[in-house]
Structure 1
Amino acid sequence: MRNEWWKDAVIYQIYPKSFKDANGDGIGDLAGIQEKLPYLKELGVDALWLSPVYLSPQVDNGYDISDYYQIDPMFGTNEDMVQLIREAHKLDLKIIMDFVANHTSDQCQWFQESRKSKENPYSDFYIWQDGKADGSEPNNWGSSFGGSAWTWDDSRQQYYLHYYAKEQPDLNWENPRVRQAIYDMMIYWKNLGVDGWRLDVITSISKDWDFPDNPRPFAKNNQHNGPRMHEFIHEMNQKVLTPFDMMSVGEAPASGAEDAHLLVDPKRQELDMVFTFQHMHIDRKKGDVNDRWALQAPDFIQLKQIMSQWQKELEGRGWNALYFENHDRARIVSRWGDDDSYRYESATAFATILHGMKGTPFVYQGEEIGMTNPKFPLADYIDVELKGNFQHYVEQQQTLTAEEFLAAVHKVSRDNARTPMPWNDSANGGFSTGTPWFQLNPNYPDINVLADQKAQKSVFHYYQKLIRLRHEEAILKEGSYRLLLPEHPTIFAYERRLKRKKWLVVANLSDSPQELQALLPLTAGEIRLSNYQDSLAQSRLRPYESFIYESGTKTEKL
């Protein structure tokens, strides 16, 4: 019987490069993470997910791995990783590593060998194809980072496939030797104490080898969920995840609520959880040629529908992974909330909605203090995706102006989540004594860990209370879910029930007061948690007000 510890857990994601620098070189490291373990224990989380710390040229901030067996010297050594795992375990904190199995760096020895010829032992570790008769790309697939998903290699005289940057060639999972090499690496880290895996774009590992053209030439790749995806993931489960009792959460860009159970139903023995992208697209203009950079006001009715559908569809046949922020997503208070007048209120309102649901909540570093997007000038951003997309949409396609692109960057760029963690208001926010690899958000003197913990309106302390509720109250883990007020444009409200206990989770996701009593009369009960300091004004919801309310007949404590 597997230990399903993640169902009781809150998981904290660390972006190591930006978390805490212990040696003063301007780059966060494993020693810095170890230094902050007491802080994470104080927050109340149960496990730490570390974005990649393997050896990498850092073209895509570590998601381009050149050696899966080595910690990159910028983060420390393999011994430092073992020490971090050991110290975390002493505090009952589990360690989840981020594993990239769809692609490697072009500096990986496998690729360097593969590109030499069509005959060497690594020749089919990657996906090589001849060009068309005119010498052009094998098909019109587009890279997620802009341009073609194919790059010509002079040494091999063929094109190789890369769903992301040209420095990130895709592995050929049809080759059983590739699959076994992946499993061997996972087992290596398990033997060093790792407790689980976040699997980067794992649903992209199977390709359609007919290589059909997309309807729109060189549009962002949509070749996910290939024909052998489930077969490959099940094999990974049987070779590694189940025998070594390792938790797994997979990034699943194309999975919807209606088919996610095929990945996470325990009977199928594939993954424990997946990250959906659906709810993070409610501010995106669907079908626009500018893809993720074509924005609109967030549609909270759609947000409610999507998140509720995932609750419903996975009930009894899978487990939800709950998130609003991560290393690829902007700060929620700047994207959908109010990062000025109601920063505390909107940060805690979105947290209430997320943590009140059934599933495992993920907290991204800085989310627990209400960090905001920095709004830098365009030249100050460094993300490879941003640079590639600027070239594609602004310079080549000319479907966006530089000003329009920058406005979208300020809302949704991945760099918004990657500014270094501000621990206090000292130089560099206490992140580093050296020059940080990426500049801090200019508001760090006001928004930092120490200031937030001392504040009357503390996002950190609110997260502590939310996490404590999840640990103490079975209703949040086991209770049923029912959406209320599905058509209301700004009130997100739902009911959780377990036996005779009923909780209401309510949030106003706007800066305008909203009538409440006529829409959702509250029976006798008690407030379990509220983000306003004074008592609940039952007749209306104030801007970004949220609460968890226990109503009806009281029962024994569960």
Structure 2
Amino acid sequence: MSKYWYKNAIIYCLDVETFKDSNGDGVGDFEGLKNALTYLSGLGVNCIWLLPIFDTPNRDNGYDVRDYYKIDPRLGDLGHFAQLVDAADELGIKILIDLAVNHTSLEHFWFQEARKDKNSKYRDFYIWENKRPKGDNNNMMSPDGNGSNWKYDRTAKAYYFHTFFPHQPDLNISNPAVQKEIFRIMHFWLKMGVSGFRIDAAPHMFTEKGQVDFEEDPHEIFRNFRDFVEVQRKEAILLAEVDLAPEKYSDFLGDEDQMHMLFNFYVNNFTFLALAREEATPLATALNAMPQIDPKEQMAIFLRNHDELNLDKLSEEEKKEVFSKFAPDENMQIFDRGIRRRLASMLNNDRKKMELAYSLLFTLPGTPVLRYGQEIGMGEDLSLEGRTSVRTTMQWSNSKNGGFSTAPKNKLIRNSISSGEYSYKKVNVNDQHLDPDSFLNWMSRTIHFRREYREFGWGNYEVLDTGDKRVLGHKTESEKGIGIALHNFSSKEVTIKLKLDDTKDIIDVYGNKRYEAFDTKSQELKLDPYGFRWLHKKSKYL
């Protein structure tokens, strides 16, 4: 891979504990994942993003870290992890790991020392106040978003700050000693062979918290992070969770000197509004609001992740539209802002709509990020609490526990969906492998086309005038060539006419079916209901 490998990667996100159990204890592990790497390679995946793997009390899916230098023992040990890295490397698969350093667990050694002695060097690793600050009513994890960000600790006889849950005290990132510890953690895992980190909750690391005072531009810390990882491992990248408006993205990308990649939450929200309305206009408007990015930077495009589908970029009326279409029942919603469902069920398992959505994922400007199970159309289990509804175990076969584990059902780390339309008896890898027309085989084919036509991940893009609000057209152009994608969001067949200045050598390369060849003179194209077409022109001198 090139030093800009992340520009054309297919990233696959998974939680080791719910992916594949190798020893029958009911918990997925590194050995199980290692045995599944050939499956991921065959699918076309060349990068996997592992949700937290560190030692943890596991009160927030591993985002409450107890020790950054230890593996969660349920998953294996450092030896198993080293074997996983080697096996992935042999298949050309890079590994990113989740790094949550906005906060730790209450059980972390630093916090335990900090709470015992106000003179401890670890006291300033966290954020304390003797009295609870006034106007403290905006905790995002409380049911109504109006809870407190301060928790009284009886041992410390003081209040500590927590952005998220009370069992996750925030680190004082302005403290140089904390920054030094983060560098040590990064250094350790880079030497273990990872190709970078997904930086959890990046904007929250710099928000105002009590008496915290950054003596310089706080983003200098991210510049130092980037310098450090690139010195330690040239190919290493930082992929940040930055759930802000587009005009703030440049604050975290900098001048090609902070994050390499950002998740595009903004485009994600308006993709679902467009799907709900069956009209391309919301997504076209969102794309036009996005800044063009520099050659070393990239946006990560995703449809669903391991949390709720957070719709906070939409207005209240727009949220209601999306809720009405994709989460009409109250138990499908969470935090008054999100949807706790997987994509297949949101789209009623409609194959045409699913193919349209994933064609968008693979052609919108950026690097596509898949979540485990999306390739087979897994559903959710709404009987589980909160976000865990979309964190059920991977469905490998129609055998016991979906082939995830041989353990008794009551020993499983998480439910296997065993009944209904999305049960492992109906939705699983093995059955779909055997069916040439399965969603899995369609997904594998589409991924391989995306990897072949790299233009969609490179260069500047332009939203095209299709003359029809139901159809999104966009063009991505670089020295490598031109990629054009057209998507019909409606249930009606449409004919559009493009207005390209130069159509020479532009050809159809992929679509929901084989259409009549693109007429370079008239520039007219037909699209089926929920249909899509990819066009391409390669630069001949490359």
TM-score normalised by structure 1 residue count: 0.79
Cα deviation, residue 530, structure 1: 1.8
In the alignment, the residues of structure 2 paired with residue 128 and residue 116 of structure 1 have an alpha-carbon distance, to the nearest angstrom, of 13
Q: Does the CA contact (< 8 Å) of 1:127 and 1:172 recur in 2?
A: yes
Do residues 258 (structure 1) and 247 (structure 2) align?
Answer: yes
Look up the SS of the partner of 1:419 in the other structure: coil
Stretch of structure 1 that moved more, 321-330 or 51-60: 321-330
Name the counterpart of 2:342. Answer: 331
Q: 1:427 to 1:317 in 2, by over 3 A?
A: closer
Q: 1:154 to 1:273 in 2, by over 3 A?
A: same
In the alignment, the residues of structure 1 paired with residue 354 and residue 482 of structure 2 have an alpha-carbon distance, to the nearest angstrom, of 25
In the alignment, the residues of structure 2 paired with residue 316 and residue 93 of structure 1 have an alpha-carbon distance, to the nearest angstrom, of 23
In the alignment, the residues of structure 2 paired with residue 557 and residue 348 of structure 1 have an alpha-carbon distance, to the nearest angstrom, of 33
Look up the SS of the partner of 1:313 in the other structure: coil
Name the counterpart of 1:496. Answer: 476
In the alignment, the residues of structure 2 paired with residue 87 and residue 28 of structure 1 have an alpha-carbon distance, to the nearest angstrom, of 17
Cα deviation, residue 238, structure 1: 2.7
Cα deviation, residue 498, structure 1: 4.8
Q: Does the CA contact (< 8 Å) of 2:187 and 2:232 recur in 1?
A: no
Q: Does the CA contact (< 8 Å) of 1:301 and 1:488 recur in 2?
A: no
Name the counterpart of 1:20. Answer: 20
Q: 1:518 to 1:271 in 2, by over 3 A?
A: closer
Q: Does the CA contact (< 8 Å) of 1:203 and 1:229 recur in 2?
A: no
In the alignment, the residues of structure 1 paired with residue 529 and residue 363 of structure 2 have an alpha-carbon distance, to the nearest angstrom, of 19
In the alignment, the residues of structure 1 paired with residue 216 and residue 353 of structure 2 have an alpha-carbon distance, to the nearest angstrom, of 42
Q: 1:270 to 1:490 in 2, by over 3 A?
A: same
In the alignment, the residues of structure 1 paired with residue 81 and residue 232 of structure 2 have an alpha-carbon distance, to the nearest angstrom, of 23
Cα deviation, residue 373, structure 1: 3.4
Q: Does the CA contact (< 8 Å) of 1:476 and 1:496 recur in 2?
A: yes
Q: 1:381 aligns with which of 366, 370, 384?
A: 384
In the alignment, the residues of structure 2 paired with residue 504 and residue 313 of structure 1 have an alpha-carbon distance, to the nearest angstrom, of 17
Q: Does the CA contact (< 8 Å) of 2:380 and 2:391 recur in 1?
A: no
Q: Does the CA contact (< 8 Å) of 1:125 and 1:175 recur in 2?
A: yes
Look up the SS of the partner of 2:533 in the other structure: strand
**CA deviation map 1:132-179 (0-9, x unaligned):** 5xxx76733324344211111111111111111111111011211111
Do residues 531 (structure 1) and 512 (structure 2) align?
Answer: yes
**CA deviation map 1:290-336 (0-9, x unaligned):** xxxxxx868753233224433x432557322221122124423334x
Q: Does the CA contact (< 8 Å) of 2:342 and 2:380 recur in 1?
A: yes
Letter in 2 for 1:531: N
Question: How many pairs align?
Answer: 489
In the alignment, the residues of structure 2 paired with residue 283 and residue 530 of structure 1 have an alpha-carbon distance, to the nearest angstrom, of 19
Letter in 1 for 2:391: R
Do residues 471 (structure 1) and 468 (structure 2) align?
Answer: no
Cα deviation, residue 520, structure 1: 8.1
Cα deviation, residue 445, structure 1: 1.6
Letter in 2 for 1:142: N
Q: 2:527 aligns with which of 521, 524, 541?
A: 541
Do residues 247 (structure 1) and 254 (structure 2) align?
Answer: no
In the alignment, the residues of structure 1 paired with residue 177 and residue 405 of structure 2 have an alpha-carbon distance, to the nearest angstrom, of 42
Q: Does the CA contact (< 8 Å) of 2:470 and 2:489 recur in 1?
A: yes
Cα deviation, residue 283, structure 1: 8.6
Q: 1:518 to 1:307 in 2, by over 3 A?
A: closer
Q: Does the CA contact (< 8 Å) of 1:278 and 1:306 recur in 2?
A: yes
Name the counterpart of 1:128. Answer: 128
Cα deviation, residue 490, structure 1: 3.9
Q: 1:547 to 1:473 in 2, by over 3 A?
A: same
Cα deviation, residue 525, structure 1: 5.9
Do residues 516 (structure 1) and 500 (structure 2) align?
Answer: no
**CA deviation map 1:499-549 (0-9, x unaligned):** 695543122234x12422367899996431123478799875333222213
Look up the SS of the partner of 2:485 in the other structure: strand
**CA deviation map 1:474-495 (0-9, x unaligned):** 4334354221248855422212
Q: Does the CA contact (< 8 Å) of 1:30 and 1:76 recur in 2?
A: yes
Cα deviation, residue 227, structure 1: 8.2
Q: 1:498 to 1:272 in 2, by over 3 A?
A: closer
Name the counterpart of 2:107. Answer: 107
Look up the SS of the partner of 1:12 in the other structure: strand
**CA deviation map 1:84-137 (0-9, x unaligned):** 0111111111111111110011111111111113112211111111225xxx76
Q: 1:299 to 1:200 in 2, by over 3 A?
A: farther
State the percentage of identical aligned residues: 29
Letter in 1 for 2:141: S
Do residues 420 (structure 1) and 393 (structure 2) align?
Answer: yes
Name the counterpart of 2:283. Answer: 303
Cα deviation, residue 185, structure 1: 1.0
In the alignment, the residues of structure 2 paired with residue 457 and residue 152 of structure 1 have an alpha-carbon distance, to the nearest angstrom, of 58
Q: 1:334 to 1:93 in 2, by over 3 A?
A: same
Q: 1:533 to 1:448 in 2, by over 3 A?
A: farther
Equivalent runs, 1:185-200 vs 2, <5 Å: 185-200=185-200
**CA deviation map 1:378-410 (0-9, x unaligned):** xx323xxx3xxxxxxxxxxxxxxxxxxxxxxxx
Q: Does the CA contact (< 8 Å) of 1:131 and 1:159 recur in 2?
A: yes
Letter in 2 for 1:320: M
Q: 1:536 to 1:227 in 2, by over 3 A?
A: farther
Q: Does the CA contact (< 8 Å) of 1:138 and 1:159 recur in 2?
A: no
Name the counterpart of 2:173. Answer: 173
In the alignment, the residues of structure 2 paired with residue 356 and residue 504 of structure 1 have an alpha-carbon distance, to the nearest angstrom, of 8
Q: Does the CA contact (< 8 Å) of 1:137 and 1:159 recur in 2?
A: no
**CA deviation map 1:222-252 (0-9, x unaligned):** xxx9984312211222333444322110111
In the alignment, the residues of structure 1 paired with residue 517 and residue 151 of structure 2 have an alpha-carbon distance, to the nearest angstrom, of 59
Equivalent runs, 1:227-376 vs 2, <5 Å: 228-245=217-234, 246-254=236-244, 256-265=245-254, 267-282=255-270, 300-310=280-290, 312-316=291-295, 318-328=297-307, 329=309, 330-335=341-346, 338-340=347-349, 342=350, 344-374=351-381, 376=382
Letter in 2 for 1:6: Y
In the alignment, the residues of structure 1 paired with residue 135 and residue 154 of structure 2 have an alpha-carbon distance, to the nearest angstrom, of 15
Stretch of structure 1 that moved more, 353-362 or 35-44: 353-362
In the alignment, the residues of structure 2 paired with residue 381 and residue 345 of structure 1 have an alpha-carbon distance, to the nearest angstrom, of 29
Look up the SS of the partner of 2:87 in the other structure: helix
Q: Does the CA contact (< 8 Å) of 1:508 and 1:546 recur in 2?
A: yes
What 5-or-longer segments of structure 1 have no aligned partner? 213-224, 286-295, 387-413
Cα deviation, residue 354, structure 1: 2.0
Look up the SS of the partner of 1:57 in the other structure: coil
